[in-house]
Structure 1
């Protein structure tokens, strides 16, 4: 099967629609997260920890599709804010575990309103949002598989 002949115009590029949508999404989150004192990457890290506390930096980086070098300054800032603590592994001191503190756990409650705010800002219905999320997850998986070849 031959791929279609896509026009080489900015607005016709899937990559540009994804990129500009990602920028708009991050901007929509910004005022909501400022109320919690979090940046968007910090919010994503907290989401991971609220799902499963006491993870290694390596596990968190994999979950967020980031490298460990990117995670370290982000986690240091969360630690300085009192939301997490970094603890060296007992059996392997090279491993650093990230654990929520009480203030970090408590932050989950006010953060619960954020997904609804974003849903309302999207102007979309729930079925369309769920379909889009599924489509994007499949696209991400296909691209990851392509890159692993």
Structure 2
């Protein structure tokens, strides 16, 4: 599996004004990773090639863990900016729940539990809405933050 972004970001070397733009780039990588996970699930349902799917999941897990670690590093660097810190914390919480629900949805599809699929899809839709709201708040935070720092 090819990597999503080969550019290694050292959060500790980032200028304070680069942290939120870096967070947004990481969030974009996260979205791409979800898309690849979705594509792999479709491939699994069409081919039933579990070993290939399992290998792919291992790679995806590593990517999600790296993104999460980097986001947590950004959060730590911004812990004196209470509102931004709280928004990043909420984003991480939502993303953790989204990954759990994504896994639950896959299992429900494997087990053909249509009621569960519908229920999980509703929860995912609400969670994605919440993630988008937090990202919007972080964009506002970024505007305020840059104005203060410059």
Q: TM bucket by the smaller chain?
A: under 0.3
Normalising by structure 2, what TM-score?
A: 0.27
Higher strand share: 1
